Amino acid sequence: MSAPPTSPAATAPEGATEAAEAAVEAIRSAAGQDTSFSLQLSQDQKDIRDWVHGFAADVVRPAAHEWDEKEQTPWPIIQEAAKIGLYGYEGMAQFFADPTGLTLPIVNEELFWGDAGIGMSIFGTSLAVAAIFGQGSGEQIGEWIPRCFGTVDDVKVAAFCASEPNAGSDVSGVRSTAKFDEGAGEWVLNGQKAWATNGGIADVHVVIASVDRELGARGHGAFVVPMSEAKGISQGTKVSKHGLRASHTADVFLDDCRVPAGYVLGGKEKLDERLARVREGKRSKSQAAMQTFEASRPTVAAQALGIARAAYEYALDYAKEREQFGRKIIENQAIAFTLARMKTEIDAARLLAWRASWMGRNGLAFENAEGSMSKLKAGEVAVWVTERAIQILGGNGYAREFPVERWHRDAKIYDIFEGTAEIQQLVIARAISGMHIK
Ligand SMILES: Cc1cc2nc3c(=O)[nH]c(=O)nc-3n(C[C@H](O)[C@H](O)[C@H](O)COP(=O)(O)OP(=O)(O)OC[C@H]3O[C@@H](n4cnc5c(N)ncnc54)[C@H](O)[C@@H]3O)c2cc1C
């Protein structure tokens, strides 16, 4: 596989920080470009889509069964992705820079079409990257985003640690604390994080911790905790999962874990100012964890659609081949109509994801919780489509030898993580009603 079609890698400066700054600049300069989106994809978007699809088809899908069975992080495949520029800050910046916002969901859909477990191993890093990009200062972005990815020869992953055993849907329940030690000029973090994708195997961990518990979620800060530097951070139990099994999920423990003052995203001064505003009863739109989730929802929706599309395509081909009662099973309306609805649902969900991604990229407020709508719909479509695909394959759909049961197992997580389906409905209901629905 070759480098991305219009990769900035070819022209990026030597030093990691300079290169990151160049990537950020590419994103900023895109701000002045035409931001309207057309369903007629540009040549650039098509080229990137086809390039990622090639990698998904040739490298990811053939390896999917093996890594699902092994239940291990597919480091060699992450490295392959790094080699071609699909995994790395320059690639990520290029996808994000598209002013229409469509490239990022397109890339995610194609990669997850190949396999969601491997896809998450490759793109799980992006949640931490989104947090750093969304909340970090220019200097922090330049320093930490490249470190999230490492280099081609020494690939790293990153983790975003918000959830805790008693704080899942309700992030205000976060019990991990960050206290500032004035004498040492360091933050001291304590607590237990749960369910962290790449938790413990990442170098950069972005940890959400409470600085002022009385302020609930508004008293949270986001801290960069590099495993290679900080003492007192360790991996807890690795979770054995129903799906997405190539992706590592684990608890992370923080035990008097110390990081320098400047490792809070946005800087200590800004955090202090924000907390002071909240204490005075002034509005603060910034909630460290929610900001990150809100920004990433359309991309997560696109991942779910990649799985759904894989299952739909497989079921369509199968139905055109398989004969019962002397005819192809697709010649029965029951099967053909199911496939028609599968395709319709996928395309409808994609439009929601693209709309939200376009809005998010162009700074349009999600007044009706369009990000949540896209994630809710895509998650439900992925679960439903993959379940129907099993039905169309009959016994083969239920067998490990065929990929469809894996896709169904993988799809279910999209009803759960980054806000469950119920929480998405809560967010939408509050947005459309203006009322505090419980
Ligand atoms: C594979 C995997 C990867 C993950 N990766 C990460 C990660 O990288 N970083 C991270 O921080 N977290 C991660 N998570 C955690 C994930 O975000 C949480 O599991 C999710 O937010 C749900 O929280 P919970 O599991 O505590 O469920 P709970 O919050 O306990 O919810 C249980 C049920 O109650 C429902 N419920 C809760 N409150 C309400 C309400 N008000 N109204 C109606 N229904 C409600 C929920 O919808 C759900 O059905 C991951 C989880 C998994 C499984």
Ordered domains of the chain (ranges, CATH)? 8-149 (1.10.540.10), 158-279 (2.40.110.10), 288-433 (1.20.140.10)
Summarised one tens digit per residue, pLDDT across range 165-185 is 999 999 999 999 999 999 999
Summarised one tens digit per residue, pLDDT across range 233-262 is 999 999 999 999 999 999 999 999 999 999
433 CA distance to ligand 1 centroid (A)?
24
pLDDT the model gives residue 369:
95
Summarised one tens digit per residue, pLDDT across range 293-345 is 777 899 999 999 999 999 999 999 999 999 999 999 999 999 999 999 999 99
Summarised one tens digit per residue, pLDDT across range 377-396 is 999 999 999 999 999 999 99
Q: For residue 418, indicate whether it is catalytic.
A: yes
Q: In DSSP terms, which residues pair with 327 in a beta bridge?
A: 324
Burial of 221 from C-beta contacts in 10 A (0-12 / 13-18 / 19+): buried
pLDDT bin (cut points 50, 70, 90) of residue 15 is very low
pLDDT bin (cut points 50, 70, 90) of residue 36 is confident
Protein residue with its CA nearest to atom 31 in ligand 1: 169
Q: Identify the residues whose C-beta falls under 6 Å from ligand 1.
A: 127, 160-163, 168-169, 195-197, 241, 244, 249, 413, 416-418, 420, 422-423, 426
Handedness of CA 222, 228, 229, 234 (dihedral sign): positive
Which of 110, 182, 418, 422 is labelled catalytic?
418
Share above pLDDT 90 across residues of the chain, in percent, rounded to a whole number: 87
Protein residue with its CA nearest to atom 6 in ligand 1: 196
The pTM assigned to this predicted structure is 0.94
Ligand 1 pocket test, candidate residues 417, 423, 430, most atoms within 8 A of CB: 417
168 CA distance to ligand 1 centroid (A)?
4
pLDDT the model gives residue 114:
98
169 CA distance to ligand 1 centroid (A)?
5
Atom of ligand 1 minimally distant from the CA of 239? 1
Summarised one tens digit per residue, pLDDT across range 280-297 is 987 666 566 676 677 789
